[in-house]
């Protein structure tokens, strides 16, 4: 694992000519090399980080016990294999192209990678790969050092979910919706398409809460959210703003009339009976729509106009779709 440099002693004397000086110097050099080797071996075996050594062809030639524990593979299974045995298939070719470019040009790469255990379960590592050079400054080996950061990544994902998703329905919240709306506007400009912002408000929802309690109201909201999620395209966004208010982003429209069919289908799904243990309730919904770029040019204007249209739908009797009219 550690290369011992060749040494020569050409002082013009022999050990017999000056036994005290030469023997002491040689002993000191040997002790230093042996100690370094012993310390390096101890560090390799006892490190709390996984260590993987490969040759230039990426063939694994040694691993330490921590790496075996981290990956769930035995040492015998890894020797002669390549690190691709850990692949999670979550990183694309561009990721690894950038990794190898940095490693070969700078001699080191650091980053975070998702891998798979022997049983297929995912885990995350902080990975540091270093190139090892021979006496001619050519790369001869690679050394990867892995630290398990799965718990930290899962905690971050949990915090991100709490910050961006509604805990009752699991839908995106206002913060995440606004981010996606900004991205959708930029996409619409690039592709010369339209998008629709749609405000939804359940009619008579307060009466449900007052008559049957908030727990029943929550069950209705969850049922409505599930129906909405099942009746929009995968790229569209539904968010809960709070209470019984929802908002939908429909993007990639070639013409404004396209959203009418989607919203009519959505309204029909929402208004199906909600079957509860001792109660059946039939929701109704008012929907207000604003179109970009026909009705407004900014996110704030779109949201305000869609809200205005929704209140017009309620004023007209509710359970209907209203489009903004200048």
Cα 16 vs. chain centroid, distance in angstroms? 69
> Is 33 domain-assigned?
no
- Note whether 48 and 171 are same-domain residues: no
Judge if 144 and 202 occupy the same domain.
no
How much of the chain, in percent, has pLDDT values that exceed 90?
78
Q: Are residues 111 and 147 in the same domain?
A: yes
Cα–Cα dist 61/59, whole Å: 6
Counted domains in the chain: 2
Where is average pLDDT lowest: 9-23, 92-106, 117-131? 9-23
Query: Is 72 among the domain residues?
Result: yes
Domain end call among 153, 185, 207? 153
2 inside domain: no
Per-residue confidence (pLDDT) for residue 11, from 0 to 100: 30
| 244 flagged as catalytic | yes
Phi, psi of 279 (to 5 degrees): -160, 145
CB burial readout 273-284, b (16+ within 10 A) else e: ebeeeeeebebe
- The predicted model gives 62-84 an average pLDDT of 95
Compute the average pLDDT of residues 158-170.
86
- Give me the CATH number covering residue 273: 3.30.70.270
Residue ending a domain, choose from 102, 120, 153? 153
Residue 96 lies in a domain: yes
Range of the domain at 72: 43-153
Same domain, 149 and 174: no
Q: How many CB atoms lie within 10 A of CB 33?
A: 14
CA–CA distance, 241 with 247 (Å, rounded to integer): 7
- Single out the residue in 102, 132, 153 at which a domain terminates: 153
| Residue 172 belongs to a domain | yes
- The answer on 316 and 170 residing in a single domain is yes
Tell me if 248 sits within 8 A of 181, measured CB to CB: no
pLDDT higher than threshold 50 for residue 57? yes
Q: CA Rg, the chain, in Å?
A: 32
Q: What is the pLDDT of residues 114-128, one digit of tens each?
A: 999 999 999 999 999
**210 alpha-carbon distance from chain centroid:** 41
Is residue 227 located within the same domain as residue 140? no
pLDDT at position 36 is 77
Residue 3 is assigned to a structural domain of this protein: no
> Is residue 158 in a domain?
no
CA distance 115 to 131: 21
| CATH number of the domain residue 149 falls in | 3.30.450.20
Let me know whether 209 and 233 are in one domain. yes
User: 88 and 132 in one domain?
Assistant: yes
Beta strand pairing status for 285-292 and 321-323? parallel
Residues 173 and 296 in one domain: yes
- If one counts every other C-beta atom within 10 angstroms of the C-beta of residue 238, the result is 21
Average pLDDT, integer, range 203-224: 94
Express each pLDDT in 17-36 by its tens digit: 444 445 555 555 555 777 77
Residues 121 and 213 reside in one and the same domain: no
- Per the residue annotation, which of 148, 166, 201, 244 is the catalytic one? 244
Whether 142 is covered by a domain: the verdict is: yes
Examine the domain organization and report whether 134 and 183 are in the same domain: no
Q: Is the pLDDT of residue 322 over 80?
A: yes
The pTM of the whole model exceeds 0.85: no
3-state secondary structure at position 223: helix
Same domain, 306 and 275: yes
């Amino acid at each position: 694992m550690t290369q011992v440099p060749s040494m020569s002693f050409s002082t013009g004397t022999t050990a017999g000519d000056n036994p005290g000086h030469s023997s002491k110097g040689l002993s000191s050099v040997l002790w230093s090399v042996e100690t370094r080797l012993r310390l390096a071996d101890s560090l390799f075996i006892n490190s709390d980080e996984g260590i993987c050594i490969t040759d230039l062809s990426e063939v694994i030639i040694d691993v330490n016990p921590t790496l075996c524990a981290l990956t769930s593979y035995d040492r015998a299974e890894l020797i002669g294999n390549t690190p691709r045995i850990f692949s999670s298939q979550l990183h694309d070719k561009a990721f690894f192209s950038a990794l190898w470019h940095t490693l070969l040009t700078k001699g080191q790469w650091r980053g975070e990678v998702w891998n798979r255990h022997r049983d297929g379960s995912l885990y995350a590592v902080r990975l540091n790969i270093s190139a090892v050079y021979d006496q001619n400054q050519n790369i001869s080996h690679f050394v990867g050092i892995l630290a398990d950061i799965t718990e930290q990544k899962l905690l971050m994902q949990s915090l991100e979910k709490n910050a961006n998703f509604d805990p009752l329905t699991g839908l995106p919240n206002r913060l995440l919706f606004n981010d996606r709306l900004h991205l959708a506007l930029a996409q619409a400009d690039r592709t010369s398409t339209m998008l629709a912002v749609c405000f939804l408000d359940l009619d008579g929802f307060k009466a449900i809460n007052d008559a049957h309690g908030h727990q029943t109201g929550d069950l209705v909201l969850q049922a409505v959210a599930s129906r909405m999620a099942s009746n929009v395209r995968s790229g569209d966004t539904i968010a809960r703003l709070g209470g019984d208010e929802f908002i939908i982003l429909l993007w990639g429209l070639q013409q404004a009339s396209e959203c009418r069919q989607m919203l009519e289908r959505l309204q029909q799904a929402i208004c199906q009976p909600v079957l509860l243990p001792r109660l059946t309730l039939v929701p109704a919904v008012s929907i207000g729509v604003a179109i970009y770029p026909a009705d407004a040019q900014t996110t704030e204007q779109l949201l305000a106009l869609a809200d205005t249209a929704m209140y017009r739908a309620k004023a007209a009797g509710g359970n209907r779709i209203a489009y903004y009219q200048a």
